[in-house]
Each structure stands twice: as C-alpha cells, then as structure tokens.
Amino acid sequence: MARTSREAPLAALLALLAAPAFGQAVVQPPIVAPTPIAPVLPGAPAPAPAPAAPARGEDQPVTFTAEEVEYDQNRALVVARGRVEAWQGNRVLRADEFTYDRNTGVATARGNVQLIEGDGQVVFADSVVLENQFRDGVLEGLRGLLAQNGRVAAAGARRTGGTVFDLSRVVYSACDPCRDDPLAPPIWQLRARTATLDQQARQARYRDAVVEFGGVPLFWTPYLQHPAGDAPRQSGFLSPTFGITRFLGAFVEAPYYWAIDESQELVLRPQIATSAVPNLGLEYRRRFNFGEIEAEGSLGYLDGSDNTERGFGGHIFSRGRFSLDETWRAGFDLNLATSEDYLRIYRYGARRLLSTQVFTEGFWGPDSYARVDGRGFQGLRRTDDNSRIPVVLPNIYWDWRSPVDPLGGTFTIDTWNFAVFRRTGTSTQRASSRIGYVLPATDAIGGLWTLRAQADLAAYGYTDLAGPPNFSTAADNGSAVQANIRAGLDWRMPFIRQAGEYGHQIVEPRVQIVTGPVTGAQARIPNEDSIDLEFTDANLFRLNRFSGRDRQEGGTRVDYALRAAWHFPNGGMIEGLAGASYRFQRDGGPFFAGSGLENRASDYVARARIMPVSWLEFLGRGRFDQEDGNMRFLDLSTSVSLPTRTTITAGYLYTPAAPYLTPVRNRDEVALGITQQIGHWRFAAYGRYDLDLNRGVTLSASAAYEDECFLLEARFLRRFAEDPATGAQYPANTILLFRIGLKTIGDIGFRAI
C-alpha cells in the first residue's frame, strides 16, 4: 500500500542530512510507516500533540518538501520525486529523486543532487549511492563548491568511512568561470589523475598533478597537498622561495611549518645556496591566556667577500607581551644581530640600530600611569662604537593628573628617574620630578586664555662628563642639582567669518609670554634626554623647547604667531601659520648654533596645509632665518589622487647639519612616487634623490596582477647608501623579487640580483 502527499516527514533522510557532505554519517533511525491521523469533527477539540523528544545534533527534526512521496510498506521502500528539498539545522539536500531500500540499506539520489554544508561547501553530483548506514558511497559526476571559492570536479568519487573521498580524473580551481564563455579554461586549474579529500583532516591530496594556465600545462608534480575549506593549522612544508643573488648564488628556501599544539607553532626556514654555506631561520610563536611570545632567529656564515665580515653570523628578534592583571602588564623586546651585512645578505631586513628592553607598566584610567624598564642598544655598522652606546637600568617613570579644581585648572605630577651606563663615556644617575598646572579661561569678548606653570627639580650623579656624548670642559666626575620654574600666559583670539556657500574663515592671532630664571650654559649637568633639538611650529609655544629635562630653557620671552584657515563645505580646507619668539635676555639656554633659538630673535617657523578637494593635499613645514629669510629647514609633501585611479606623491626635505648626528652634513632630498590601477593590474614607482651628494637614495618599482584566484607580482628595490667605513655601497643593496600565488594552493617566490 502506498501513500502520496506533497509535504511529509521522511525519516530516511535524517541520517543523510545529519552527515556532512564530506563528513562521517551516523546510524540512521529505522523507517516507520506514517502514523494515521484521526479525523477531527467540527466543534470538537483538537487532540493534544504528542510530546516532542528533545532535538539535538543528528536527532534534530528533518523538514522537507517534494512534489511526490511514496512509501511502500511491503517492500520497505521510500521514494520521493520532484524537486526534493530537505534540511536539518544548517544542512540542505536537494535532488530530483530519492530512494531508500530498507532491506539492503542502500539509498540512492538521482538528478541534480546537491549537498550543502553549513560551512558553505556545496557538492553537486549526477547520482549518489550510499550504503553501510550512509558511511560509504559512490558518486558520479561530482562537482563541489568548497570554502574560499574553491571548485572541484571529478568523473567519479568513492566515500569511505564517511570522511574520505577518493576521486578520479580531478580538476580543481579557485577561479570564477568566465562570464562571456563559462566553458573556457580558467586562469589556472589543477588536474590530477587521482585525489583524496579528507574531510576530517580538511586536506586535499593530489597524485600525478599538472597545473595549467589558460588550459596550457606548465608545471607537473607527483604529489601536491593543500587545505580544503576551513582547515585547522597543520604541520607541513610551505611554498618554497627560489632565487639568485650576487652573494648567495642560486638558492632555495623550503620552509617547514610545525603546528606544535593549539597555542604554539614553529617555522623552520632552511636555505641552501651554491655560493654560501646553508642558513637556518626560525620563527616561533606562542599564545597564553595572559599574553603572547614571538621570536625570529637565524644562524649562518659569511665568507668575507666584498669587504664583509668573515665568520659565523646570526640574529634574534623577539617580543613578549603579558597582562598581569587589570592594571599591570609586562613585556620584553630582545633584538641582537652579528652585523648589518649579515641581515642584508640573508634577507632579514636592513637595520642600523637594535634595541632591547624589559618593562612593566600600569594604567589607572586616563589620569595615572607608571612604568619601570631596562633598555639596551646595539649599533650594527662598523663605524659604531658600542662601548659609547648606553645601557639604561633602571628607568622609572610615574605621572598623575588631578581632577579639575574649582577654578577649572588641572595639576600634574610626575617623576622620571634612571641610571645610564657606558663603558666609554658618561655614566649618569638621575632623580627628577615635575609639577605642572594648566588653567584655561575665556573672556567676555571671546578671547581664549591659558595659564601654564611648570616646576622641575633634578639631582644627578655622573662620571666621565668629559667623555661622549657630553664632552664637558667644566666637570668630569661629581654630582649636581638643577631646578627651574617656568610660567606662561597664552592668549589667542579666533575671529570667524561666515562665507556663505563657500564655508567659513578663521583668523587667529596668538601671543604668549613665558618667564623664569636664567639657566645658563648648564655645562656641569649631564645631557641624556635633550640632545635632539628641532625648533618648529610644533614646539613654538612650549614652556621648555628642549625635548627632555636635562636641558632647561630660561629667561623671559614672547612667542607670537598668526593662524588663518578657510574651511569649505565639502570638507576641504586651506590653513597656514607663521610665528617666532623674542627673548629679552641674551642667555636663554645651551642652544647650539643653527638651532634657530641661539639668538634673542628666533627663526621664523611656519606650516601650511592646502586641501581644497578630497583628491588633493599639500603639507608644508619650514623654518627661516630671522634676518635674511634664508631657509633653515623645509619639509614639503603633496598627494594627488585622480579619478583614473592614479595617485601621485612628491616631497622635498632640507635639514641643516646637526652636531649630534654623524656624519655632520646637510640633507637636501627630493622624492617622487606614482601608483596606477588598471582593472586587476596595479603599478607603482618611487624614488628619492640626494641633491647635496648628487646621487640617488632609493629607487623602487613594482607591478602586480591580482584577482579572486591568482596573483602575479614583481618588485625591484635599489638602495644607494654607502658604508662610511669603506665608502662602498652596502652589500645586497639591489633586490628583484617575483611572486606567483595560486590562492587556496600557495605561492612561489623568486629573488634575483
């Protein structure tokens, strides 16, 4: 006897829907005949529904629709026809016809079979035959839509154990079909005689595989493996890098990834070259519940060619960050290398100075902060004398900001203490504190007033003050105490004019008077944090224009500036500022010649920003001599973004010689860059040129094609920097890189020169 209906429960589909398309099936419940439905007479209450069993996992109820469903109780056969669609949870099955034979345990789905998984993977087949409680089966005409846009097709497939698919005559690609000709070969596809899709391990393995580009076979491999879908981290070889360089000769790097456990991983990067001994690089990462560690290191050997060092070399770059509780955190940075040449030759980055630190710091909202750390530095160039480079241990800092007082002002208190040690040169111990107060106010006509006050107190102990970096002629070993008080009254008046449809304009004069005791040359005070001084509009109105506390500005001065701006309705603007200072005393502090503050009347400082439209921006900042207007410092940059997806950048930089930088010389450079995108293509070029030395600084260019499945990239970089010890350019100063990426498969890099 058969029953037919348009919508009915189909218990035989329960196990099929509970099993992933490439996953393990569960034992299906037995098929039972539909329960007869008792008629309900008009006016009679409806019978109470049977209590529902809890639905969980594979026991969730199955909902399905079909144009026709037949159940033959005598033959124990269920047949559903016509747009069969069933779903359970987030899994869906579609087919033209589904048949289940209870006597043999064989289920068959025919015609446009689709198995859709919750992770986005979709498998299509012409027909599917399943047995052994749906754990084993055979599929014909398989086509799959996997995660990350992966597409697979096979003439036939066999499923074993519910988790492994063995495929024959396989084609795989992550490329979208051509819109104009869907049957045309994609940009790339992988063909293999056989393949295995392991759903449990989320891996695809191919044997006797060929990679085709545009339908043309270009690369053959006996074995290839890649993740299938959202595969978890797994150990295995990563894509290799090939290349040819002047120092290494021909080389190959074949990295191996080791997934140690869920919280840590290691990458081994062995490198074999024809003109150098093997090099081994390591990358290690580990995450904790309270922090993380990252480390990179290597071991190699330099043969001494082209004025490089001879002997073993290596490096380690590492960092760690840890949360101790809601207030405190700790961390470290450990960076060491044998030489800059080693890093350049073996492609670990060009670095001149490495820093190492261990620290702990605490945060109490936005109003208080504390930090304790130790720091060390390493110079990598042969001209660097590391005996003069300091070790700082300890370095202690704490600050606190008070709530706003009844007058509207705010107090700040901090202390900054450190000990600096050098094998050659000045060693310093300092204990210092600072108290500050800021009180803003507004007058009746709209003027903005700000009262600032600052008091500094510091005690020093030092040895070899006559050595670097102080070179003092007034003292050598001893101690000193320094105190200073600075107070300033700042006034500015913004005049605003509405310009109707053209936005609004602002003109804002600003004047500040700052006073305090004369501080003198301070030759008996060691200088550790105020060596670098650059006078610009950014520090024009600071109470102390020195960057740190070891050098204190003194005397009375007046700062003045005029700022003007025009704000447009489209968000654009034109803004500029010009200002200077005048000191009443000749002695205002130990400002070096050329700093712009060595005279009573300071240099003029200015800045400008022009951005009338969103695609054009100009930024400029400069300093000019008070007497003749000669340029002392100038930094210009501009950016233009055109509707043609073209971006042009240009810049100019001039900085005068500074006594604390070696070599002591002016910097006079221009820079120009351009990027262009055309469809899936992008091009870029950039260059910097030193006008003072009449030679290039850097030159780079790149071209790349990238779409949903393919990446082809070429990069060129040339550095013209010279080693001051030899006068020759640094080794490995030219780089040419090629990269081919097959998305979801991997990429291959090639480096030349």
**Mean per-residue pLDDT, 397-402:** 97
DSSP string, 81-145: EEEEEEEETTEEEEEEEEEEETTTTEEEEEEEEEEE-TTS-EEEEEEEEEETTTTEEEEEEEEEE
- Give strand pairing partners of 69: 80
H or E element: which one contains 420?
strand 410-421
Using alpha carbons, list the distances in angstroms from residue 450 to 387, 441, 738, 745. Answer: 46, 6, 58, 62
At residue 496, the 3 state secondary structure works out as strand
Q: What is the pLDDT of residue 197?
A: 86
Q: Which CATH number fits domain 13-34+60-231: 3.10.129.10, 2.60.450.10, 1.10.1140.10, 3.40.640.10?
A: 2.60.450.10
d(CA 248, CA 271): 10
Q: Which two tokens stand for residue 742?
A: 């097959």
**472 vs 316 pLDDT, higher one:** 316
What 8-state DSSP symbol labels residue 55?
P
d(CA 564, CA 619): 15
**Mean per-residue pLDDT, 670-676:** 97
Average pLDDT of the chain is: 86
**Mean per-residue pLDDT, 679-687:** 96
**520 vs 672 pLDDT, higher one:** 672
Q: Which of 118-122, 248-252, 407-411 has the highest mean pLDDT?
A: 407-411
d(CA 579, CA 596): 13
Q: What is the pLDDT of residue 36?
A: 35
The number of beta carbons lying within 10 Å of the beta carbon of residue 519 is 21
How do the domains of the chain map onto residue ranges? Answer: 13-34+60-231, 435-629
Phi, psi of 57 (to 5 degrees): 60, -130
H or E element: which one contains 711?
strand 710-719
Q: What is the pLDDT of residue 727?
A: 76
- Give strand ranges (E) for 102-255: 106-116, 122-131, 136-145, 151-160, 164-173, 188-198, 203-213, 216-227, 236-237, 241-245, 249-253
Q: Is the pLDDT of residue 622 over 70?
A: yes
* Displacement of CA 297 from its chain's centroid (Å): 20
CB of 581 closer than 8 Å to CB of 600: no
d(CA 707, CA 459): 63
Q: Are strands 495-498 and 427-442 parallel, antiparallel or unpaired?
A: unpaired
Q: Is the pLDDT of residue 689 over 70?
A: yes
Residues in Cβ contact with 44 at an 8 Å cutoff, skipping those fewer than 6 apart: none
Q: What is the pLDDT of residue 29?
A: 35
Q: Is the pLDDT of residue 121 over 70?
A: no
d(CA 189, CA 705): 17
Q: Give tens-digit pLDDT for 200-220.
A: 778 889 999 999 999 999 989
101-110, 111-120, 304-313, 580-589: least confidently modelled range: 111-120
**Angle CA 53–54–56, to nearest 5:** 135
Percent of the chain with pLDDT over 90: 58
What 8-state DSSP symbol labels residue 176?
P
With DSSP H G I counted as helix, E B as strand and the rest as coil, what are the percentages for the chain, rounded to 5? 5, 55, 40
d(CA 57, CA 78): 24
What 8-state DSSP symbol labels residue 342?
H
Q: Which two tokens stand for residue 12?
A: 């035989």
- Give strand ranges (E) for 600-645: 604-611, 616-624, 631-642
Residues in Cβ contact with 442 at an 8 Å cutoff, skipping those fewer than 6 apart: 448, 449
Residues in Cβ contact with 257 at an 8 Å cutoff, skipping those fewer than 6 apart: 233, 234, 235, 236, 237, 238, 265, 266, 267
224-238, 346-360, 561-575: least confidently modelled range: 224-238
**666 vs 333 pLDDT, higher one:** 333
Q: What is the pLDDT of residue 16?
A: 34
CB of 175 closer than 8 Å to CB of 708: yes
CB of 745 closer than 8 Å to CB of 190: yes
Q: Is the pLDDT of residue 145 over 80?
A: no
Residue with tokens 């040449």: 341
Phi, psi of 368 (to 5 degrees): -155, 145
Residue with tokens 């869920």: 262
Q: Is the pLDDT of residue 544 over 60?
A: yes
At residue 672, the 3 state secondary structure works out as strand
Nearest CA among 387, 458, 390, 388 for reference residue 419: 390
Q: What is the pLDDT of residue 556?
A: 96
Q: Give tens-digit pLDDT for 246-269.
A: 888 889 999 999 999 999 999 999
Q: Give tens-digit pLDDT for 6-21.
A: 333 333 333 333 333 3
d(CA 249, CA 275): 5
d(CA 712, CA 720): 27
Band the pLDDT of 724: cuts 50, 70, 90.
confident
d(CA 70, CA 66): 10
Band the pLDDT of 749: cuts 50, 70, 90.
confident
d(CA 130, CA 16): 9
d(CA 527, CA 522): 9
Nearest CA among 284, 239, 236 for reference residue 257: 236
